[in-house]
């Protein structure tokens, strides 16, 4: 999946947030069963009971996982439950009656424990801890490897089962499904009714029994199952809503080695959100409302469209049939096999059975009235679909997809497996795009471009297509076993997106973009709230949270670093071909990748597995300190950890392929030398004395470098004398690193300024945009502290630093992408800082655009600047809003929306937010974009913050807790705060949310960021006062 650039292109799921479902469940049903009383109905344990969820004994014994109990009570209670002790029946009179957990909550034994109870509890905890440790170290089993080892049947732990909706015991108590049954194939029949917003379905699942068991446990959410049969007899489907699980209990064991078939008929409503099987609409050119239905299943929503084993490791084949009215068409993963007229006047389309095994999250189908633009590429028919009137905007996507498909077929040495590949632009879609096998879905912005669109707009489309196409191999062919290794999908697809386009379409110059996303990944990963690339995932919220820059951009960065450690691209390529071939059609974890690459790539200098495990198993990255004495170089590493209290130190060590160039040879790739730093520190000798060293050549390594006071001034001096002494990537890397070190407190702000002295002579995109971004961030913080005097002096500094370069920019069409990037950054900055010349030019261009009635084209890279200036002016806001409402071309529309959200007018700000929330005139999917734009200004951000607090519950209905959209919203509204008062407000609001989001990683990140901003301001305000 592509979560999109900026903030807003996010996938959205869950018609009801999980916590709401859980709460309503708690009110109706007991969450714990008295085992002593219910032992007769208690299902027998089987091997599945003790696999997975290794984190703690609590998870093994708690039916509901995360319910609210005090920690100390909880441990005792767990032990008591384990024992099935009769004292569970004691009353708990003191529990608050207002608690939603009250009605059927378990009586608690340990509220006033006797000493004997304490001894029993403690003893039992010791036993539980020991047993848990044992299972923790048992290898997890999957279908893809050597198979499951039968766990120890004598395990004394008996889980506490929750209660199904019908009052019976639900025979499973974990988030992950049991491993005893493997689905082999699904036969799906779907009958969507786009008028009534409902659908019915029939799902036939053929499965194989791997271990003898008394139950089948799988997923289903919001499905009303009307009939279920197993071996020609009716069976009852049990449902446990909080985990979206379904089950069938059998009195007789299903024996290992058997094959069997479960058939279910059901009905359901279309999802109101953007996940599951959801209904959507668009307004056509004649202002008619056109309805369509589409799917978005990753990560946890296939279960909302059909009952299934909804985990990535349960791969199977799919045969899909969908009925439709004659005026519609349908699409699914596979080519259409046949169409049949039904007696009710509808047509049923049947698709070929999938030729490869695939995970449920990759299933997709669409019912709409789209039209295709088609081309054959080797063995595959490629089609780009859109609403009929935008079909003229599909040509570029078709051309670049064809080139990329040929590139990947050749690069991976494995052909794309299907006869067809459809790319579909969906008018109402939250994610940037979704890589469903054979049927890739996109936002219109990420697939459609007009012939006259600028290369910068084409760059967006090409990047997203390159990403989703790479997933057809990384993700679809070889899939991560569980969401903890999401980076195997997303890191690879992100890396391949840049790598493939550098080959296929070098004119798009994606290098600058990749460099800047690596900087942002470093910034996020420096925080204490970050996580390892491969990390534990035990709740649905944690699954959502994996879609973040660590999985995507850090994943891509460490692959780049690995590739750059070898001379040439071919060795790395050989390694990944080997990996793809070895695991084709299977599921893997991170170790499989490193083991596979180790076989092909390791040399006596480098063990790939050892090196790369140090980057995927630990959070954060190293700070490399370099000390140069004549020709002797000393390197040291430590964890680059930004903490507000400076107390946390870690002993993390990385295997770092440190690259370096020096003053006598610094530009060509041949100048680059490598030293692998594995220890805390190490020393080596250069062949000659040098004046300076620049480490991390072209910033291909995922680390930050501190050169020490002398080292920094030598580099600053060298650049001041001659900008061209380093590559533009190296200059950008120095700028990024010195600001990061200033945040860490390792360099003074005067050293930062000393380096920046050279910048006014720089004309390349990446160093200039990086410096702009860093300075702008300080300016925004000053503005939000209402240090108006300092803010205006900072503004003057920024303007004067870039005055010459800004003055050189034109307002005509510009061909070169990197010049477009530079120009749009400079002019946006100048106009945002109210540079008179800039705002006049932009205003006059907007007036001409209005007068031309849309026939005059504003160059694509200047549109944002022009629309923002128009949106900030009370005179032109209404005109812009009018154009926005009638505009059809999504990428222009989004720029207009950003312009509209830049207004400082309170009424208009409130208006935009409420339109967005209602989804009228402004689509709800755009709210994260609206909020991030508003938060660029002091006043706008105040309104956005109020809005978020007032509408939190509605927001998490639209954007699931932990999702990329929610992450982006929290970041936008907090990242430029730096005062104690702001910190207190943010802290108070989020801690008050409790289970409605207070535990999110992004909340921790926000609080840390504010504290770090506060610390930086405290330290540097005096310097700023003096120096500005
Ligand atoms: Zn992706």
- pLDDT digits over 140-197, tens only? 333 333 344 444 445 556 678 999 999 999 999 999 999 999 999 999 999 999 999 9
- Cα 1009 to ligand 1 centre (Å): 27
The confidence score (pLDDT) of residue 520 equals 96
Residue found by looking up tokens 């005055």 in the block: 803
Q: Enter the tokens of residue 494.
A: 């992100």
Contacts of 1003 (CB under 8 A, 6+ apart): 970, 990, 997
Strand pairing report for 336-341 and 371-377: unpaired
Q: Enter the tokens of residue 706.
A: 């501190």
CB 48 within 8 A of CB 178: yes
**Bigger pLDDT: 74 or 977?**
977
- Cα 579 to ligand 1 centre (Å): 19
Q: Is the dihedral of CA 789, 791, 796, 800 positive or negative?
A: positive
- Cα 473 to ligand 1 centre (Å): 12
Distance CA 903, CA 968 (A): 21
The confidence score (pLDDT) of residue 157 equals 64
Q: Is the pLDDT of residue 106 over 60?
A: no
Distance CA 743, CA 524 (A): 13
- Cα 545 to ligand 1 centre (Å): 14
Distance CA 133, CA 123 (A): 15
Among 962, 959, 955, smallest CA distance to 1004 is for: 962
Distance CA 518, CA 498 (A): 12
pTM of the full predicted structure? 0.84
- Cα 334 to ligand 1 centre (Å): 20
Q: Enter the tokens of residue 154.
A: 């004598």
The reply to whether 467 sits in an annotated binding site is: yes
Three-class secondary structure of residue 300 per DSSP: coil
Among 875, 842, 871, 876, smallest CA distance to 859 is for: 842
pLDDT per residue as tens digits for the range 487-523: 999 999 999 999 999 999 999 999 999 999 999 999 9
The reply to whether 490 sits in an annotated binding site is: yes
- Which pLDDT band, with edges at 50, 70 and 90, does 124 fall under? low
Residues assigned a catalytic role: 468
Q: Enter the tokens of residue 81.
A: 């439950």
- Cα 2 to ligand 1 centre (Å): 4
Query: What is the DSSP annotation of 585-621?
Result: TSEE-HHHHHHHHHHHH--SS--HHHHHHHHHSSSS-
For 492-524, letters b (16+ CB in 10 Å) and e give bbbbbbbbbbeebbeebbbbbbbbbbbbebbbb
CB 60 within 8 A of CB 98: no
Residue 299, preceding bond cis, omega within 30 degrees? yes
Count helices and strands (H / E) in the chain.
Answer: 32, 29
Q: Enter the tokens of residue 228.
A: 């279920």
pLDDT per residue as tens digits for the range 816-825: 999 999 999 9
Q: Is the pLDDT of residue 17 over 90?
A: no
Which whole number is the average pLDDT over 972-986?
Answer: 94
Q: Is the pLDDT of residue 409 over 80?
A: yes
Three-class secondary structure of residue 337 per DSSP: strand
- Cα 296 to ligand 1 centre (Å): 13
Q: What is the mean pLDDT of the chain?
A: 85
């Amino acid at each position: 999946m592509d979560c999109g650039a900026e903030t807003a292109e996010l996938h959205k799921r869950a018609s009801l947030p999980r916590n709401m479902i859980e709460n309503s469940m708690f009110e109706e049903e007991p969450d714990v069963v008295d085992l002593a009383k219910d032992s007769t109905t208690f299902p027998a344990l089987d091997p599945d009971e003790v696999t997975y969820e290794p984190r703690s004994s609590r998870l093994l014994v708690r039916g509901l996982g995360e319910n609210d109990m005090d920690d100390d009570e909880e441990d005792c209670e767990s032990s008591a439950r384990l024992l099935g002790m009769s004292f569970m029946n004691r009353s708990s009179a003191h529990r608050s009656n207002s608690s939603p957990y009250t009605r059927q909550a378990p009586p608690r034994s340990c509220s006033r424990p006797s000493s004997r109870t304490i001894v029993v509890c403690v003893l039992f905890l010791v036993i539980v801890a020991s047993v848990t440790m044992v299972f923790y170290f048992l290898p997890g089993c999957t279908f893809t490897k050597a198979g499951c080892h039968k766990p120890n049947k004598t395990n004394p732990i008996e889980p506490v089962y929750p209660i199904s909706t019908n009052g019976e015991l639900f025979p499973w108590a974990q988030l992950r499904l049991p491993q005893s049954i493997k689905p082999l194939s699904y036969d799906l029949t779907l009958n969507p009714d786009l008028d009534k917003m409902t659908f019915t379905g029939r799902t036939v699942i053929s499965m194989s029994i791997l271990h003898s068991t008394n139950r089948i446990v799988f997923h289903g959410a919001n499905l009303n199952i009307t009939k279920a049969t197993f071996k020609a007899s009716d069976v009852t489907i049990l449902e446990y809503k909080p985990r979206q699980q379904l089950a069938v209990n059998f009195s007789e064991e299903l024996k290992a080695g058997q094959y069997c078939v479960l058939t279910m008929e059901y009905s359901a409503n279309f999802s109101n959100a953007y996940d599951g099987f959801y209904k959507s609409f668009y307004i056509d050119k004649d202002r008619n409302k056109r309805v369509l239905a589409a799917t978005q299943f990753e990560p946890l929503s296939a279960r909302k469209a059909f009952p299934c084993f909804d985990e990535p490791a349960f791969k199977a084949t799919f045969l899909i049939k969908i009925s439709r009215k004659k005026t519609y068409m349908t699409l699914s993963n596979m080519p259409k096999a046949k169409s049949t007229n039904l007696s009710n006047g509808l047509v049923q389309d049947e698709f070929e059975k999938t030729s490869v095994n695939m995970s449920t999250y990759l299933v997709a189908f669409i019912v709409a009235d789209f039209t295709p633009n088609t081309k054959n590429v080797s063995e595959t028919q490629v089609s780009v679909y859109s609403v009929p009137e935008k079909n003229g905007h599909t040509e570029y996507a078709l051309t670049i997809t064809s080139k990329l498909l040929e590139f990947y077929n050749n690069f991976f040495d494995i052909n794309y497996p299907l006869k067809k590949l459809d790319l579909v632009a969906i008018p109402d879609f939250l994610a940037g795009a979704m890589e469903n096998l054979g049927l890739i879905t996109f936002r219109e912005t990420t697939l459609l471009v007009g012939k006259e669109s600028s290369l910068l707009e084409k760059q967006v489309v090409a990047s997203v297509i390159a990403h989703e196409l790479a997933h057809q191999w990384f993700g679809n062919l070889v899939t991560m076993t569980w969401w903890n290794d999401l980076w195997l999908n997303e890191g690879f697809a992100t890396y391949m997106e840049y790598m493939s386009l550098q080959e296929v379409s070098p004119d798009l110059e994606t290098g600058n973009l990749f460099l800047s996303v690596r900087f942002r990944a470093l910034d996020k990963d420096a925080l204490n709230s970050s996580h390892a690339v491969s990390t534990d995932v035990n709740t649905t919220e944690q699954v959502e949270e994996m879609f973040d820059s660590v999985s995507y951009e850090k994943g891509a960065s460490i692959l780049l670093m690995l590739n750059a450690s070898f001379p040439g691209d071919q060795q790395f390529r050989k390694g990944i071909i080997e990996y793809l071939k070895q695991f084709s059609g299977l599921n893997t974890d991170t170790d499989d990748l490193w083991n596979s690459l180790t076989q092909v790539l390791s040399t006596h200098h480098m063990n790939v597995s050892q090196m790369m495990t140090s980057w995927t198993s630990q959070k954060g990255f190293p700070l490399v300190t370099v000390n140069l004495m004549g020709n002797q170089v000393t390197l040291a590493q430590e964890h680059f950890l930004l903490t507000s209290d400076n107390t946390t130190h870690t002993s993390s060590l990385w295997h770092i392929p440190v690259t370096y160039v020096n003053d006598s040879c610094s530009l060509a790739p041949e100048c680059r030398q490598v030293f692998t730093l594995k220890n805390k520190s190490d020393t080596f000798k250069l062949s000659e004395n040098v004046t300076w060293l620049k480490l991390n050549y072209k910033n291909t390594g995922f680390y930050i470098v501190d050169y020490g006071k002398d080292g920094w001034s030598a580099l600053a001096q060298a650049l001041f004398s001659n900008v061209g002494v380093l590559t533009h990537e190296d200059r950008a890397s120095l700028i990024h690193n010195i600001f990061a070190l200033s945040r860490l407190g390792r360099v003074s702000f005067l050293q930062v300024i000393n380096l920046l002295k050279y910048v006014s002579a720089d004309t390349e995109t990446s160093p200039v945009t990086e410096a702009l971004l860093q300075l702008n961030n300080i300016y925004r913080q000053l503005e939000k502290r209402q240090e108006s005097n300092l803010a205006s002096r900072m503004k003057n500094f920024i303007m004067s630093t870039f005055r010459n370069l800004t003055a050189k920019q034109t307002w005509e069409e510009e061909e070169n992408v990197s010049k477009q990037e530079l120009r749009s950054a400079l002019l946006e900055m100048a106009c945002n800082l109210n540079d008179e010349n800039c705002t006049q030019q932009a205003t006059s261009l907007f007036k001409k655009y209005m007068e031309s009635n849309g026939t005059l084209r504003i160059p694509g890279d200047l549109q944002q600047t022009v629309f923002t200036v128009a949106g900030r002016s009370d005179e032109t806001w209404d005109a812009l809003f009018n154009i926005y409402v009638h505009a059809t071309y999504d990428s222009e529309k989004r720029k207009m929306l950003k312009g509209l959200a830049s207004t400082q007018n309170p009424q208009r700000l409130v208006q935009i937010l409420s339109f967005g929330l209602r989804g009228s005139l402004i689509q709800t999917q755009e709210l994260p974009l609206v909020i991030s734009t508003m938060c660029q200004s002091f006043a706008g951000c105040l309104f956005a913050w109020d809005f978020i607090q007032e509408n939190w519950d509605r927001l998490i209905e639209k954007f699931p807790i932990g999702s990329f959209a929610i992450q982006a919203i929290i970041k936008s509204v907090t990242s430029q705060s730096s005062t104690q008062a702001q910190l207190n407000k943010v802290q108070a609001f989020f801690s008050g949310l409790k289970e409605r989001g207070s535990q999110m990683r992004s909340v921790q990140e926000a609080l840390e960021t504010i504290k770090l901003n506060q610390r930086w301001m405290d330290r540097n305000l005096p310097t700023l006062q003096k120096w500005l």
